[in-house]
């Protein structure tokens, strides 16, 4: 078959699989709990079933959603792809995302999945996460593409933060890359982190800060609240970026530098001394590397 025919087949298959998957994800747990209720004859068993029904429902829900996503985990890879379910990678991303968002937006079940250690481990492993399970996140913290997340031991991702492993482009494409949070790394409230970014061990990004794609932040570094760090920036170890500072694209901040609060660092700057509010420009030959 030609590539056009296969793409058309995937689009048609998506229209079939979406309602089928949703029926299984939401229907199988309900059927299991209903069956347990009907099989529990004596009042004491009915009462026991009623008490444990929410846990049973949550367990089966996570299990079904996780199992259905397994064939599609192969589409959770770095790269740039058209946002078209006819494309083999985006087709798998669409189906994986359906399974994940069914759980993520069902907050009572997702809350239980994050709260009960055994259920948390089962769920995240089924969705392809391979990092440490000793991390903290919340039901309203946006995460997805679990195979591309690496959360270190003791990492803390505050509520309403966003780990954006994918970035939609106006060209009709999607850009995808991993995000890494080091051991004891801290991502504050309402922080937005773009794809391809890494945060070193013991480092912190303060509340309401934004970090662009392909940015590297070293160990024991603090990016204070309301900072804007553009794409392709490299910040060394043991640095402090003061509150409400702006770091332009492709800039370099050397190890141990303290950037003053409210600083504006132009794009392609090199900051080697502290305190500093403006840096030395990098050679024009240095460009932000392509993400893919």
Q: What is the pLDDT along the chain (292 residues), one digit of tens a residue?
A: 677 788 999 999 999 999 999 999 999 999 999 888 787 777 777 787 788 889 999 999 999 999 999 999 999 999 999 999 999 999 999 999 999 999 999 999 999 999 999 999 999 999 999 999 999 999 999 999 999 999 999 999 999 999 999 999 999 999 999 999 999 999 999 999 999 999 999 999 999 999 999 999 999 999 999 999 999 999 999 999 999 999 999 999 999 999 999 999 999 999 987 664 454 444 433 444 554 4
- DSSP letter, residue 119: H
Domain range enclosing 42: 1-128
Domain endpoint, select from 128, 154, 170:
128
Do 83 and 142 fall within a single domain?
no
Residue 179 backbone dihedrals phi, psi, to 5 degrees: -130, 135
Do 152 and 280 fall within a single domain?
yes
Six-digit token string for 220:
């024991």
Do 124 and 139 fall within a single domain?
no
CA atoms within 13 A on the CB side of 47: 3
Do 187 and 225 fall within a single domain?
yes
Do 150 and 171 fall within a single domain?
yes
The answer to whether the beta carbons of residues 143 and 123 sit under 8 Å apart is: no
Q: Which residues contact 54 (CB under 8 A, 6 or more apart)?
A: 108, 112
CATH of residue 176's domain is 2.160.10.10
Quick one: the chain helix, strand, coil %, rounded to 5? 35, 20, 45
- DSSP letter, residue 273: S
Do 21 and 146 fall within a single domain?
no
Six-digit token string for 53:
């029904």
- DSSP letter, residue 42: S
Do 64 and 140 fall within a single domain?
no
Distance CA 84, CA 115 (A): 35
State the DSSP H helix or E strand holding residue 91, giving kind and residue range, or none if neither: helix 88-104
Q: How many CB atoms lie within 10 A of CB 41?
A: 8
Domain endpoint, select from 128, 143, 169:
128
Do 156 and 288 fall within a single domain?
yes
Do 205 and 70 fall within a single domain?
no
Task: Give which of 148, 246, 245 is closest to 197, Cα–Cα.
Answer: 148
Q: How many CB atoms lie within 10 A of CB 194?
A: 24
Task: Give which of 200, 72, 67 is closest to 145, Cα–Cα.
Answer: 72
Domain endpoint, select from 128, 156, 184:
128
Do 136 and 235 fall within a single domain?
yes
Do 53 and 106 fall within a single domain?
yes
Could you give the number of structural domains in the chain?
Answer: 2
Do 116 and 136 fall within a single domain?
no
């Amino acid at each position: 078959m030609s590539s056009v025919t296969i793409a058309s087949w995937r689009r048609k298959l998506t229209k079939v699989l979406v309602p089928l998957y949703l029926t299984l994800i939401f229907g199988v747990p309900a059927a299991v709990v209903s069956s347990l209720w009907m099989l529990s004859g004596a009042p004491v068993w009915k009462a026991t079933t009623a008490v444990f029904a929410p846990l049973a429902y949550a367990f089966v829900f996570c299990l079904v959603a996780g199992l259905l996503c397994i064939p599609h985990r192969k589409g959770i890879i770095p790269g740039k792809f058209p946002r078209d379910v006819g494309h083999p990678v985006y087709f798998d991303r669409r189906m994986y995302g359906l399974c994940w968002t069914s759980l993520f937006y069902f907050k009572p079940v997702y809350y239980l999945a994050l709260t009960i250690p055994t259920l948390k481990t089962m769920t995240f492993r089924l969705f392809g996460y391979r990092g440490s399970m000793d991390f903290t996140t919340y039901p309203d913290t946006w995460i997805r593409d679990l195979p591309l997340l690496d959360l270190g031991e003791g990492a803390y991702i505050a509520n309403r933060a966003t780990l954006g492993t994918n970035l939609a482009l106006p060209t009709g494409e999607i850009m995808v890359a991993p995000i890494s949070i080091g051991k004891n790394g801290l991502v504050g409230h309402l922080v937005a982190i773009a794809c391809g970014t890494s945060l070193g061990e013991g480092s912190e990004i303060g509340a309401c800060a934004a970090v662009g794609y392909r940015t590297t932040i070293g160990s024991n570094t603090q990016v204070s609240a309301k900072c804007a760090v553009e794409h392709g920036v490299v910040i060394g170890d043991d640095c402090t970026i003061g509150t409400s500072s702006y770091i332009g694209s492709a800039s370099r901040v050397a190890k141990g530098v303290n950037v003053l609060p409210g600083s504006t660092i132009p794009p392609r700057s090199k900051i080697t001394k502290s305190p500093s509010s403006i840096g030395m420009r990098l050679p024009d030959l240095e460009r932000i590397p392509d993400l893919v």
